[in-house]
Chain A
């Protein structure tokens, strides 16, 4: 687990800090809930229920102590108006992971609300009320489900209490359904709208007395529910960050050094200012050379801003802009050199010993069956389809922001620092993002937009170009992993050595997400293992990309496990189940620690679904992979065929997941399919290379996403388990690359040890 973010860490913004991971710690959600106190307020035209923040002001002390005089403030989740409309507020940003549907479903289920009369709204951004409002680490369900269930159930109890008065019947003789309180005996019923005002005057039920629904009676949870935003999307109505329009708004582009960290030396600003539509052009000095992932920072890079009366005029003027860059402060990264250095380091013992258990060297010395392998991956870019953009209105003593961010509260903090404004003078609106994948955890584009708005004294929409996205990412770091393991006479793994070669800027620790992965599996199942790290110099900024660390380690380690099965002369499924052994929860009651029984269940079921073991024609094969991440278990089998030119067709992927009780079956299945497509796209053909500190890829012709003609059929199934519900935004991504390459091996005998496989002479067709 991540030692830096222990359950005792009181800093609710810790997730946004450098080298912190956004996974919640075990029990965090319930601890947070215990610290909260439920509160009811009336007078807002109906029943409003929320929880008060129990977060102490000291938690925010380092940022702005005077502002956080947190008392009994309300944060709204449910509002019922007299007409019977139920409004449910979603605290977390939506970037396509489905929280604007799944979280309200949880509330509506326990509320027994008529889903067809529910309206979903995104809440305001206010960390003092809502705690962590972010989209990352597949955590929204894991963190919020218990709390939101309670909100719904409490409101229902109060509506029943009001119904008992109005219907003159004991509460225990009343039932609820579809936003009505019903007295079955008399056949009388009252709508939630009719009861809302009286319900609001009822005492809050004791938490311990709350009766939750029997899951057998669920009408929403576990069902296929369509996204509440589908109609808006298919009709092209404004919904995304880039669709925001504010009166008097100007349009901006911001040009930075493609060699990361360069400073503007001079630019032909006078010429640019005279171009059609250009309102202004100016240098922003910046306060940070080579960018670093830190969403709450006030970091801004040096660059030239062009402000125009339309996006097109800003872009066109940009084509005429000539900047001379001072590159003395810029990155000099060269990925060819990095790869050579990493390969060399992989042949040597790890410089840093992370974990050392038993006596690995003794076991290796006595072993007659040792397998060694080296796996490597490149940098990759998040590339959400909606390029970064942000609309900001700097008003002198306050600032208003519309941002498609995954961490809107972090923008608030960053702008407080940048402008010296108190928190109540920074308003951040959460706006749907056209994809996130971790890119929108950082808020560099919002800070740039804010500075530009301040300079021109008008609201500004900053629109990044696709070329900016690929140049100025916080990239998924490359992964270089060397493994050595031994097998005993029975073909069982008895010792394991894992050496991660990690990109490092300071020469002391891995860059963000460049180091070893968060889970200890599989080595924690062994008596003898050692994990080590060596560092390879790299200045390129890195950050979390969908399934951080797991997204590169999954490929390497699940390929290596297949190599071990082959060396043991065993069937892959059989070898895996044998390795997992008897069911054990490696850290009891910790959802982020692997439970080998749940792992085995998913592997058994995916083998069954895929028809594992069936005869395959020549050039065709099945490949197995498994990964546990984000508290969810995902086992996958890929069926591929490979032709004599190493063109790979992925025909079908079977995925079996255990994420506890599924909240929204449609959303969960969609996320599972999407993450598999994402993973195949990255492993197929996505690589960012650097020369002189600059990314060499500029647009999708050089960084191709997977297209519809390459996509496999994907069948997703869920294991019905009664553990805590966990997220589905990421967990099916880590296993897919190895499922495909293991299948390629089974089809051809060719082992692929590098991603993307286009660098190894293979292509996905």
Chain B
């Protein structure tokens, strides 16, 4: 029986094979599908999560090796009441996502960056995010959104804030 600490909750994975990568345990066993499969070989960053606060590729982490560590996924970034983190809010306000598939991984890498380096340089951002591929090419807005949060001022054109919702 493997149990993991994920987003502040203890989750049981039942009799899962301990070699199962965290990515697939999250997605198929726990239904936390925000963490994405993109390549399976730690090349794209779509499956980025935090392990004890550090960004890590969930496709490379066997669940058997993760007991006792603290795991945060994209589902754990917002406050319990649904309030978005500053970076999540910036992603919305500056309309960063296009298809959106890579953005969970981008946000996890960006969040870890700002926790370690609250005032990142352009090079810091490029280094921290260079492992996260965006096939849609949203890099200009990713960098701008991170800088806007770090500098507490809009580094990109501001978009409409009074918005409709998708269902």
Contacts and interface: CB of A to CB of B under 8 A. Distances in A.
A735 to B, nearest CB: 15
Contact of A387 (B20, B37, B95): B37
Contacts of B53: none
Interface in B80-133: 84, 88, 91-93, 95-104, 107, 125-127, 129-133
B135 interface: yes
Given A100-B166, A229-B166, A236-B32, A435 B75 contact: no
Interface stretch (A288-296, A322-330, A492-500, A668-676): A668-676
Contacts of B32: 236
Interface in B114-167: 125-127, 129-143, 157-167
The residue among A96, A432, A669 with the most chain B CB atoms within 10 A of its own CB is A96
Contacts of B64: none
Contacts of A108: 164
Nearest to B76: A236
The residue among A220, A236, A669, A700 with the most chain B CB atoms within 10 A of its own CB is A236
Nearest to B74: A236
Interface in A692-711: 699-701, 705-709, 711
A214 B65 CA distance: 63
A31 interface: no
Interface string A224-263: 1111111111111111101101000001000000000000
A96 B107 CA distance: 18
Interface stretch (A195-203, A308-316, A548-556): A308-316
B24 to A, nearest CB: 4
Q: In the complex, which range does the number of interface residues on chain A fall in?
A: 35 or more
Nearest to B32: A236
Interface string A368-400: 000000000000000111110000000000000
B31 interface: yes
Chain B interface, DSSP helix/strand/loop, else mixed: loop
A437 B135 contact: yes
B99 A708 contact: no
Interface in A701-746: 701, 705-709, 711, 713-714
A277 interface: yes
A56 B47 CA distance: 47
Contacts of B73: 236
Contacts of B142: 708
Interface stretch (A117-125, A479-487, A504-512): A117-125
B71 to A, nearest CB: 13
A234 B37 contact: no
B126 A674 contact: no
B167 to A, nearest CB: 5
A312 B21 contact: yes
Contact of A225 (B74, B104, B163, B166): B163
Contact of A700 (B39, B93, B164): B39
Given A233-B100, A235-B77, A709 B126 contact: yes
A66 B136 CA distance: 42
A504 B164 CA distance: 48
A676 B44 CA distance: 20
Interface in A554-613: none
Contact of A677 (B31, B43, B44, B139): B139
B162 A709 contact: no
A701 B88 contact: no
The residue among A230, A276, A669 with the most chain B CB atoms within 10 A of its own CB is A230
- Pairs of residues from A and B, 8 with the lowest C-beta to C-beta distance, nearest first: A236-B34, A677-B137, A96-B99, A434-B101, A236-B74, A118-B164, A233-B100, A674-B137
